[in-house]
Amino acid sequence: MERPDAREMLYEGKAKQVFATDDPERVIVRYKDDATAFNAQKRGTVAGKGEVNNAVTALLYPELEDFGVPTHFLARLSEREQLVRRVRIVPVEVIVRNRAAGTFASRYGVAEGRPLDPTVIEFCLKSDALGDPPMNAATAVALGHASEEELETLFDLAAEVNDYLLARFAVAGLDLVDFKLEFGVTGDGELVLADEISPDTCRLWDAETGEKLDKDRFRRDLGGVEEAYHEVRRRLEATVGAALDLPEHDDADHEHHDHEHHDHLHAHREGEEPHDA
Ligand code: UDP
């Protein structure tokens, strides 16, 4: 792909900058080394973090596209930059939890690492000012943050992303404890996975030793932060193309698959229309 020029900066967040290009439907995302935690009360930098998060996202998003998840990702442009479709970010953070950890473990008073069955999918309002408060679907709809239909799609896509990532990280010797996703709406009105998937947004534990290889090393001052980020990248790159132990997901059996393999995640919801992902 021809490298588009970055024009004016449209937005600067905690870990990324977004630049316009000559194409109004495409923007360049630049990943920084800046790290924040606990709602930006803790700040620092992690050398090389931007490169790792750019590389990990640029590796995983095309794989997720192949798995059937639409994303905003178009191309990695450089060590720190990627080209993505311009989207309006839906202000609903989707948290997927395979094990209890972090705020979930403290909120419910359970041990970190406790397996969660079914997988827990939570919505939070994307608001730094309010500390990303948890929000149920009715609240999101009543406050105008997303439509009911959008929330169903977010839920289904998050479950699909989890199916893929659990297997993808497992083959890299990593246990995917929990993660956060953000979605956006393109100019054409398509709801796509946006933002990033990286050690900043996932909890990843070594499958053998349980060692934390993610942002908790920064949050909890465990040391070895840079090494952990690089190790995640290294393991993912070393396992590109490896056979994954995925739940059934072939097109011929699509309908069947959709209904069956998400059933355990949807068990608590009623009156749901079949989702044609
Ligand atoms: N997470 C994130 N950004 C946020 C909140 C959470 O990327 O603003 C990720 C976090 O890294 C973890 C998962 O989502 O992998 C669940 O985080 P939790 O709700 O337990 O909050 P935390 O303990 O990170 O404050």
In a domain, 95, yes or no: yes
Contacts with 59 (C-beta within 8 Å, 6 or more apart), sequence order = 236, 237, 240
Q: For 174-210, give one letter per residue: b (16+ CB within 10 A) or e.
A: bbbbbbbbbbbbbeeeebbbbbbbbbbbbbbbeeeee
Strand partners, 232: none
| Ligand 1 neighbourhood includes 127 CB (under 6 angstroms) | no
The number of folded domains in the chain is 1
pLDDT at residue 248, rounded to an integer? 82
CATH of the domain at 94: 3.30.470.20
Q: Whose Cα sits closest to atom 5 in ligand 1?
A: 180
Ligand 1 center–CA 132 separation, angstroms: 10
Minimum-distance ligand 1 atom for the alpha carbon of 104: 20
At CA 13, angle to CA 75 and CA 80, rounded to 5? 35
Which of 14, 95, 107, 116 to mutate to test ligand 1, by most ligand atoms within 8 A of the CB atom? 95
In a domain, 79, yes or no: no
Structure tokens at 84: 């993505």
In a domain, 136, yes or no: yes
Minimum-distance ligand 1 atom for the alpha carbon of 219: 24
Ligand 1 center–CA 266 separation, angstroms: 22
At CA 261, angle to CA 154 and CA 166, rounded to 5? 70
| Ligand 1 neighbourhood includes 99 CB (under 6 angstroms) | no
| Ligand 1 neighbourhood includes 103 CB (under 6 angstroms) | yes
In a domain, 78, yes or no: no
Which of 94, 123, 195, 201 to mutate to test ligand 1, by most ligand atoms within 8 A of the CB atom? 201
pLDDT at residue 147, rounded to an integer? 97
Ligand 1 center–CA 259 separation, angstroms: 29
In a domain, 233, yes or no: no
| Contact assessment for residue 81 and residue 54, using Cβ atoms and an 8 Å cutoff | yes
Closest CA to 62 of 152, 162, 163, 164: 164
User: Whole domain around residue 130: which residue ranges?
Assistant: 89-223+248-269
Interatomic CA distance for residues 203 and 213, integer angstroms: 7
Which of 114, 122, 180, 229 to mutate to test ligand 1, by most ligand atoms within 8 A of the CB atom? 180
Ligand 1 center–CA 252 separation, angstroms: 36
| Ligand 1 neighbourhood includes 217 CB (under 6 angstroms) | no
| Local mean pLDDT, 10-residue blocks, the chain (277 residues) | 85 97 98 95 97 98 98 98 98 98 98 98 97 97 98 98 98 98 98 98 98 98 98 98 87 41 39 38
pLDDT at residue 250, rounded to an integer? 53
**How many of the other CB atoms lie within 10 Å of CB of 165?**
23
Give the orientation angle of helix 49-67 with respect to helix 148-171, to 10 degrees.
110
| Contact assessment for residue 186 and residue 176, using Cβ atoms and an 8 Å cutoff | no
| Ligand 1 neighbourhood includes 179 CB (under 6 angstroms) | yes
pLDDT at residue 277, rounded to an integer? 31
| Contact assessment for residue 178 and residue 203, using Cβ atoms and an 8 Å cutoff | yes
Cα four-point dihedral sign 82, 84, 89, 94: negative
In a domain, 14, yes or no: no
| Ligand 1 neighbourhood includes 36 CB (under 6 angstroms) | no
pLDDT at residue 1, rounded to an integer? 63
In a domain, 47, yes or no: no
In a domain, 159, yes or no: yes
